[in-house]
Amino acid sequence: MMNPTTKSRSRSRWLVSLSGGLILAAVVIAALVYGPELYSLFQLGRQLEQISRENERLGGPWPRVSDACIACHGFEGHARAQGYPRLAGQPEAYIKKQLKAFASGERSDSTMTTLAVSLSESDIDGLAAFFAKMAPQPNTTFSADAGRVARGEALVKTKGCVACHGQQLEGKDLNPRLAGQGYDYLVDQLTRFKSGARKDVSGAMPAIAAALSQQEIGDMASYLARPELAQAVPASKAD
């Protein structure tokens, strides 16, 4: 005959087992009823986290100052049109200097001057930091002529471009990244240096460009703009 203590223990175990079963059943029912909604909330949480990370990478939530640059310079500074400079991976110090040059009138361009004069010091710092951290991509919209590339490479070496622009032409300090830059933009800027329309406080660029013929300017631009060059060159770490 079962004593009262044993009977009490059996009843307790039965109640615990029953309670566990009821809880399990409730969980199963809740999962069946609310499972899709809970999963959707989980997915939403992941998406919001991803958006937050992307906003941080792109310099904050929309609207961003850098969004105004997309029309000409492409998303994240990867301009597809050869006439606009590719900003991704440009040295931070160089971008700051050029924006301030447009704002002060040292450089002149109808679009850039209008934009630059509207920027605060904080805006300029933010834009420079944003584009400097973007990984450069190959200039895939440009197709280079092999003969011009070979002549351009020889000119780049003899003119000592690496002394200012880095061993791989990745840009450093106040000197721009040339690797993978837009062909038409390079031709235009070298021509401006040659004519004196664009200044350089060091005097180096006007002196170099003045000695180049228009064909040589095109050859240099062909070498610098070719996709393979940008693909092999990392972003500058200079500030």
User: Tens of pLDDT along 104-132?
Assistant: 999 999 999 999 999 999 999 999 999 99
Question: What's the predicted TM-score (pTM) here?
Answer: 0.73
The string of pLDDT tens digits covering residues 37-66 is: 655 544 545 544 554 455 555 555 545 788
Structure tokens at 228: 């393979």
- Residue ranges of domains in the chain, CATH in brackets: 65-232 (1.10.760.10)
> CA Rg, the chain, in Å?
31
**From CA 71, how far away is CA 83, in angstroms rounded?**
13
CB 201 within 8 A of CB 193: no
Instruction: Please enumerate, as own/partner, the contacts of 192-196 that have beta carbons within 8 Å and a separation of 24 or more.
Output: none
Per-residue CA distances from 10 to 3, 17, 20, 44 (Å):
11, 10, 15, 47
